[in-house]
Structure 1
């Protein structure tokens, strides 16, 4: 162990360490492969959340109140607009979280949607969501411990090995990120599963499946045609089971969908880090038309039916009404 590593370990144990400095010290320890156990409990938009800093998603919840806060606030704003636009006040709203992971988005949306359906086949993370559903006595969140695909099948799942538990995937190429084969997990064809359960209508859907998105959308073809939800899909550029162009993504969707993305990049395509750091704290966001396709990396892309563009929130200040 280097002298610097030892120094950071000693510094981490000091009770007088201010939160901002403690965060910096922990990140330096993690960069040296030292993932210290640090459990915590805090308020999460009116819910109780129990996590550990050794999970990178929960690290963000502890220090920034949320992981991917702009996306979280966008989902909340969108559902608020959907509710406001409905002439039938008795109709229940439904949010589907495909690739729920530890369930942060599902927990947040449980305060806003009447029904939340969370899909997560990897037990190591879905168990955390199940614990928080029970801890907060949430009756409107249904955890489906299964993945969605274009066929009912079992496939090898490649599990993350480090702090970032959000990169597990059925895409074998993710071994390049350090993932390791963790056995086969069950998947269902989305349309068949939604009909059998039944889940009913879908107003808003988030898809985050680390390169498996084309198979998820293909399996939900009839559901998307029937309900025409607003969709937020994380796209992994260059992934074998993702998309290779704006056109290929549009072809996987019903007719008359428009694509947008979050304004998180500079004109040269690189990430705007200062803007991102500010948004991570405030939750502010801005949507722009999605016209470019990249060779690598990931972006959240919003697919909106043209008849719902008038209710799509194009920007947010970072304020979200939570009951």
Structure 2
């Protein structure tokens, strides 16, 4: 009851709601097992409201800053046989894609132990989901990983700020190893600046299966290397930008426009683009 009252207050605060929750979290255990219901499909899981990646799901049911990316993933996931979610975090995008592709096999890669209880709830609800608690790179082995207080900004060592970061050693695999026997139709990559490294370890899978690839590239040099990877494949991919309005545009410049997001799509030849190159909304939202 008290936890619900606190969340009601937090929702009513235009700013500072998360700070209020974090302040009261030590004395209100219910804030550590609070429900969040996703707008996309009604899936509910429980988590710690002090965690920066869980709180907005409890408040809004989605991440407001990436709603159009959700639409792209939902469109691309429909009818997929196998999906790879690289950088699964607490399982939001996995749950989103599982909702629109209930018959798909979804392999979600996430090395952080902090995220595993959330991912376990997703896998328990969606039978096609398999969690692989490893990082993904260009070759198998181990990697140094930076865990940050903003969990979604955690990444391989060597990127991002060292402030408030804890270094972990995590096992690393490649998509070519993990997906060798899979008919892969969609790969989503969000690994905070190492997207091109993941692609390097997925070369054979991409050539064999020609999946749609949705990847983040916040920094221009990451985008440049990722574009070079697809050009080097010579496999008929079209590289597309995504606008905040859901329009897909040919990637003719590495510079991101004011109305464009930092996610991109590699679209294989032979796969139909949406009507008018505009992605439809996948769920209702303001």
**TM-score normalised to the size of structure 2?**
0.80
Report the equivalent of 1:175. Answer: 161
- C-alpha distance in structure 2 between counterparts of 1:149 and 1:69, whole Å: 27
Question: What's the CA shift string for 1:112-151, capped at 9, x where partnerless?
Answer: 22211101111111332113323x3x32100011122111
Cα distance, 1:70 vs structure 2: 1.9
SS in 2 for 1:302: strand
Report the equivalent of 2:13. Answer: 22
8 Å Cα contact 2:195-2:226 kept in structure 1: no
Q: How well do the aligned residues superpose, as a CA RMSD in angstroms? A: 3.1
Report the equivalent of 1:70. Answer: 68
8 Å Cα contact 2:135-2:173 kept in structure 1: yes
- How many aligned residue pairs are there? 267
1:156–1:96: structure 2 CA closer, same or farther, 3 Å change rule?
same
Question: What's the CA shift string for 1:149-172, capped at 9, x where partnerless?
Answer: 111111111111x2x211111141
8 Å Cα contact 1:100-1:106 kept in structure 2: yes
8 Å Cα contact 1:202-1:229 kept in structure 2: yes
Cα distance, 1:69 vs structure 2: 2.3
Q: Which one has a bigger Cα radius of gyration?
A: 1
SS in 2 for 1:204: strand
SS in 1 for 2:161: helix
Report the equivalent of 1:281. Answer: none
Report the equivalent of 2:120. Answer: 130
**TM-score normalised to the size of structure 1?**
0.72
1:224 matched to 2:222:
no
Question: What's the CA shift string for 1:58-107, capped at 9, x where partnerless?
Answer: 22212221122221222112233xx3xxxxxxxx6222101101111111
8 Å Cα contact 2:214-2:263 kept in structure 1: yes
- C-alpha distance in structure 2 between counterparts of 1:171 and 1:293, whole Å: 25
1:98 matched to 2:86:
yes
Runs of 4+ in 1 over 4 A off after TM superposition: 12-20, 27-30
User: Residue 306 of structure 1 is aligned with which of 242, 249, 269?
Assistant: 269
8 Å Cα contact 1:171-1:212 kept in structure 2: no
- C-alpha distance in structure 2 between counterparts of 1:96 and 1:60, whole Å: 24
1:233–1:246: structure 2 CA closer, same or farther, 3 Å change rule?
closer
1:13–1:201: structure 2 CA closer, same or farther, 3 Å change rule?
closer
8 Å Cα contact 1:285-1:317 kept in structure 2: yes
Q: For 1:38-187, what aligned pairs fall within 5 Å after superposition? A: 38-39=31-32, 40-44=34-38, 45-67=41-63, 68-80=66-78, 83=79, 93-113=81-101, 114=103, 115-134=105-124, 136=125, 138-160=126-148, 162=149, 164-176=150-162, 178=163, 180-187=165-172
8 Å Cα contact 2:217-2:262 kept in structure 1: yes
Range with bigger deviation, 285-294 or 208-217: 285-294
Using CA pairs below 8 Å that are at least 6 residues apart, which structure has the higher relative contact order? 1
Cα distance, 1:317 vs structure 2: 4.5
Question: What's the CA shift string for 1:262-291, capped at 9, x where partnerless?
Answer: 214xxxxxxxxxxxxxxxxxxx62222222
8 Å Cα contact 2:141-2:172 kept in structure 1: yes
1:35–1:314: structure 2 CA closer, same or farther, 3 Å change rule?
farther
Structure 1 unmatched runs, 5+: 1-11, 84-91, 265-283
